[in-house]
Amino acid sequence: MNSALEIKGLKKNYGNFTAIKGIDLEVKRGEVFGFLGPNGAGKTTTIKTCAGLLQPTEGNISICGFDLQKQGSKAKKNLGYVPDDPYLYEKLTGREYALFSARLYGENGQKLTSRVEEYFELFEMKEDMDKLIGGYSRGMRQKTAIISALLHRPALLMVDEPTANLDPKSARLVKDIFQNWKDQNRTVFMSTHVMEIAENLCDRIGIIHKGEILAVDSVEKIKGAEGSSLEEVFLQLTGAKDSEIREMINELMEDTD
């Protein structure tokens, strides 16, 4: 069994609106997979459905070979999830939240306690880990959510916009952690709008637009032989032409003047 995540025919409707139109995707163990797409393309819906927060209208999702619908607990045990705007319990401290989260996954003991301290130290939050989350900045909340998702060492880490709210140093740290995760034959599945991250960190990327996957391949193959940048390819695939965008901006600026 080599797949960390397997999506087959996934469809998700919100009332009459179809957000995901029957996508298939396989993410292997030991790879960093980037999920790209414009706003409203279906990235977060896909990730939330894979995390069990939304029910698929059609299709199947397997995490490390466990069917999310039929073997939910086993599948989720292998999953770590960081939402794009994590809501954390404001009346818990960072340390308490991290311990609470890890214990939900069956982690326990002195080893866990030390691991929590190590992670907070790594993210330069050791001094703040015993303060209530209610007093944290957005960046600190994001770091706490990432720490909590790593503690049970999941085989598949799903992260929605991993570097949102993070300062450059912390963003770099997160990238290094993802690299390290991959070296341990674990998988990272992340959505991002930052092309630089996708280009430098991801082994493969998938581009989703209007609920359909337009391309899945390695960064090099998607960029093609012409030497285009990933940004240009992305804009072309998602229907936004660089020259048209510039023209619209110019018109708007003239109107403003």
Q: What is the binding site for another protein (CB under 8 A)?
A: 48, 51-55, 72-74, 76-77, 79, 81, 83, 86-87, 89-93, 95-96, 99-101, 103-106, 110, 113, 130-132, 134-135, 148
CA distances from 7 to 10, 63, 76, 132 (A): 6, 9, 15, 38
Q: Which is nearer to another protein, 96 or 231 (CB)?
A: 96
Q: Which is nearer to another protein, 76 or 223 (CB)?
A: 76
Amino acid at 38: P
CB of 256 to another protein, least distance (A): 17
Q: Which is nearer to another protein, 108 or 180 (CB)?
A: 108
CB of 14 to another protein, least distance (A): 10
Q: Which is nearer to another protein, 51 or 213 (CB)?
A: 51
CB of 98 to another protein, least distance (A): 10
What are the E-state strand segments in 16-74?
Answer: 17-28, 32-36, 58-63, 66-67
Q: Which is nearer to another protein, 118 or 176 (CB)?
A: 118
Q: Which is nearer to another protein, 164 or 215 (CB)?
A: 164
Amino acid at 26: E
Q: Which is nearer to another protein, 91 or 246 (CB)?
A: 91
CB of 112 to another protein, least distance (A): 9
CB of 111 to another protein, least distance (A): 12
Other CB atoms within a 10 A radius of the CB of residue 30 amount to: 16
Other CB atoms within a 10 A radius of the CB of residue 180 amount to: 10
Contact 156, 186 (CB under 8 A): yes
CB of 2 to another protein, least distance (A): 22
Contact 138, 165 (CB under 8 A): yes
- For residue 202 the two structure tokens come to 């991801």
| Complete edge-to-edge strand list for the sheet that includes strand 66-67 | 17-28, 3-14, 58-63, 66-67
Using DSSP, state whether 101 is helix, strand or coil: helix
Percent helix, strand, coil in the chain, to 5, is 40, 25, 35
Rounded to the nearest 10 degrees, what angle do helices 109-122 and 94-104 cross at? 130
What are the E-state strand segments in 120-175?
Answer: 156-160
CB of 51 to another protein, least distance (A): 5
